[in-house]
Structure 1
Amino acid sequence: MTRDISAIRRDYEGGSLDEGNTPESPVNLFQEWLTLALESEGDDGNAMTLATVDSQGLPHARVVLLKGSDDRGLVFFTNYHSHKGSELANVPHAALVFWWPSLSRQVRIEGSVEIVSEAESDSYFASRPRGSQLGTWIATQSVEIPDRNWIAERQKRYEQLYEGQDVKRPAHWGGYRVVPEMIEFWQGQPSRLHDRIRYERREGEWVKYRLAP
């Protein structure tokens, strides 16, 4: 029997989030929350939903992995020829959502998107496991393929091609940086009376304010 999802309830609990006790920069608060999330969520702590818009204004979303974060923005890597790559080429703006259930916390981020430097993409690519490096050559992400054998055949071909040598980064694969214009922190509270603190960049400066649950 299918479970009645309308009856599912969870009472969120967490420490209070007050604008008076938050730093002036949302980057600092995000790093604090991310550090705790990586401890409590394990290897899923850096998973984030990436939402993009295509040339017709239709939204698309998927989960990707955060691979870098600093004052410049948040970095992830992918195939530039993928659907999200094509969408970002047409509309270079995106939204991110982090959900950390063990902490009853969510972070929403919106901003412009830029391609990171080739040196940054090269550096990260070199740090990846060899199988993941080969994977960037084996399959052009998001294209239609006939079956799983197509992947197996190409995998064998590229393993032979790069046998005994380093795998170089293909030009169609690299990083994007989401440059935040808005960051919202959500801390779950009992009775759905959650804490929400939003930061917005205005004329180059961050301003913060509280939102109703």
Structure 2
Amino acid sequence: MTDLTGLRLSYTRAELRRADLNPDPLAQFQGWLQEAIGADLREPYALSLATADAGGRPSVRTVLLRGATPAGLTFYTNYDSHKGRDLSANPQAELLFHWPELERQVRAFGPVTRVPDAESDAYFHARPRESQLAAHASDPQSAPTPGREALEATFAALHDRFPEGSEVPRPACWGGFRVAVQEWEFWQGRANRMHDRFTYTRSGEEWQIQRLMP
């Protein structure tokens, strides 16, 4: 195996000063996300979602951000999936966005709630038809399957059950979660590991900004 101890990069692309920060962390995040999209990065809206079950066992996986508003950060999944069960038992999560080409990352933590059914319906029907069918085929998500052939057979049967031109209903077990962010952290890589890190934490209706040691 390659010796990993000598592999490292020095980050020299940019700096992050207190004066650069928007007083509203959502606006700061939206600005960085837009820069990542504008840089043609691959799926810059992808994030690592960390959850824990009722016993505290952590899990992490990649999902896609589908909304960033004052109400929170939204993603969609099967409610009976591993992450869905975690969030039912322990409704809080941390999200991590990593844009290595920009030498940046953002962390966001907060309590999690389900989005209203009407909102989940609207997003579900905005998805490609094949993705709608896949949401049915993979239910219950995270459960064992006898093999790829069984999954493909289920997918094919759904094409017959919901022929082209018919509406594919949203599965009752599929919908959105929203993280009401209570703490943000913005990280900009710097040379010699002297990174810039700032947190935003709630203080009533205001946000307190603090620089952290790298």
Per the normalisation by structure 1, the TM-score is: 0.97
Aligned to 1:181: 182
Are 2:205 and 1:204 aligned?
yes
Q: Which runs of 5+ in 2 are unaligned?
A: none
Q: Equivalent residues in 2 for 1:107-118 (5 A)?
A: 107-118=106-117
Aligned to 1:78: 77
Distance 2:160 2:133 in 1: 11
Q: Equivalent residues in 2 for 1:33-182 (5 A)?
A: 33-140=32-139, 141-164=141-164, 165-182=166-183
User: By how many angstroms is 1:51 displaced?
Assistant: 0.2
Q: Which runs of 5+ in 1 are unaligned?
A: none
User: By how many angstroms is 1:22 displaced?
Assistant: 1.2
User: By how many angstroms is 1:21 displaced?
Assistant: 2.7
Code of the residue aligned with 1:149 in structure 2: it is: E
Aligned to 1:8: 7
Aligned to 1:19: 18
- Quote the sequence identity (%): 42
Structure 2 SS opposite 1:6:
coil
Distance 2:208 2:3 in 1: 42
Code of the residue aligned with 2:54 in structure 1: it is: S
String of CA shifts for 1:88-127, please: whole Å, max 9, x gaps: 0010000000000110000011000010111111111111
What is the count of residue pairs matched by the alignment?
Answer: 212
Distance 1:25 1:56 in 2: 34
Distance 2:203 2:59 in 1: 27
String of CA shifts for 1:126-156, please: whole Å, max 9, x gaps: 1111110000111121000111111011111
Aligned to 2:28: 29
Contact 1:51/1:61 (<8 A) preserved: yes
Structure 2 SS opposite 1:33:
helix
Structure 2 SS opposite 1:184:
strand
User: By how many angstroms is 1:166 displaced?
Assistant: 1.4
Structure 2 SS opposite 1:201:
strand
String of CA shifts for 1:3-43, please: whole Å, max 9, x gaps: 21111010112322112231111011000000011122534
Change (3 A) 1:105 1:41: farther
Contact 1:41/1:100 (<8 A) preserved: no
Distance 2:3 2:39 in 1: 29
Deviating beyond 3 angstroms after TM superposition, the runs of 4 or more aligned structure 1 residues are none
Per the normalisation by structure 2, the TM-score is: 0.96
Contact 1:41/1:102 (<8 A) preserved: no
